[in-house]
Amino acid sequence: MNRRVLGNNFDVSAQGLGCMGMSQSYGEADQAEAEATLLRALDLGITFFDTADVYGAGHNEELVGRVLKPHRDRIELATKFAIRPGEGGKLMGVRGDAAYVKEACDASLKRLGTDVIDLYYMHRLDPNVPIEETVGAMAELVTEGKVRHLGLCEVSSKTIRRAHEVHPITAIQSEYSLWTREVEDHVLPACRELGIGFVPFSPLGRGFLTGAVKKDDLGKGDLRKMLPRFSDDNFDANRALVTAVEEMASARGVTAGQIALAWVMARGDHIVPIPGTKRRTYLEENAAADTIVLSAEDLGELDAIFARDAVTGERYPQAIMDTVETD
């Protein structure tokens, strides 16, 4: 696996591993397979692991921390705070006040079984707290040696600029893929201008862009059942777009998912996608995309297929969209 640099000096594997699905959102997980997947990632040269305190209400941090603790000096560990988990999987809102920043960090350190977090993200913006207060408290964690780098998730370019004035921001994490490209308007240009890395989550469109997801695959506990793009009519319309990617992939002897990942990775050396999986088979397929080089013609063809108005349906239901800050 190649390496890339986020921000000024945060060296990570060119792909990371999103760990959320090992604890929630995509049906029941096989814990033995999840543990094997984490260790297989290391074998493949993937050293950048992404979790959050809200994933599985702390379970995911505990899992990642326990399995990777013997390899702590080899990995780059990222986690997030701000979305407050409640009982039964319910969310209790967002907090970004200074006191909560420190409380959440200490709790994450304990669950992860480490004394320092390599990249600490604000998971969502608290609309009731100035970003300067939140990032100021995060900066104090850096001074205390509990955190090495700071990041923000799903925020506007205006918030990025305000935060960066308080303390250097190393990475912005937002959804970005062939079918989710809004960050190209303002967020990605701001990151390039300020020297901030960008970490796309769901670079495979929650699996849709691989072509492997079928309507009847979405069982109980699968987040995608509530997402507009996966509803019946939208599913069929969007599936036609993926067919074109499958044809391109077939001509090159690779998979549609590998083409979709290679497209994201081609958007810039400061971009490090974190495709999520809980199975070694998909992990290995994703990792192989690191070697795929798309031509300018390929990239142009994909851009045309996935023009903004070609994708049907919103990313999330409106209630969740309201938590995502846009320009």
Assign domain 3-207+266-290 to its CATH architecture.
Alpha-Beta Barrel (3.20)
Lowest mean pLDDT among 117-121, 124-128, 278-282, 312-316: 312-316
In tens, the pLDDT along 37-47 reads 999 999 999 99
Looking at residue 53, its pLDDT comes to 95
In tens, the pLDDT along 132-162 reads 999 999 999 999 999 999 999 999 999 999 9
288 versus 26: the higher-pLDDT residue is 288
Catalytic residue among 26, 55, 120, 282: 55
Paired residues of 176 in beta bridges: none
Looking at residue 194, its pLDDT comes to 98
Looking at residue 98, its pLDDT comes to 98
Percentages (nearest 5) of helix, strand, coil residues in the chain: 50, 15, 35
* Residue 91 clears pLDDT 70, i.e. is over it: no
Looking at residue 86, its pLDDT comes to 64
Buried b (16+ CB within 10 A) or exposed e, 105-140: beebbebbebebbbbbbbbbbbeebebeebbebbbb
Please report which confidence band the pLDDT of residue 29 belongs to, taking 50, 70 and 90 as the band edges. confident
Contact (CB, 8 A) for 74 and 42: yes
Looking at residue 316, its pLDDT comes to 84
Lowest mean pLDDT among 93-107, 113-127, 238-252, 305-319: 305-319
- Mean pLDDT (whole number) for 240-257: 94
Looking at residue 89, its pLDDT comes to 53
Looking at residue 25, its pLDDT comes to 62
Domain boundary assignment for the chain: 3-207+266-290
Please report which confidence band the pLDDT of residue 117 belongs to, taking 50, 70 and 90 as the band edges. very high
Active-site annotation holds for 55: yes
The pTM is what? 0.94
Percent above pLDDT 70 for the chain: 97
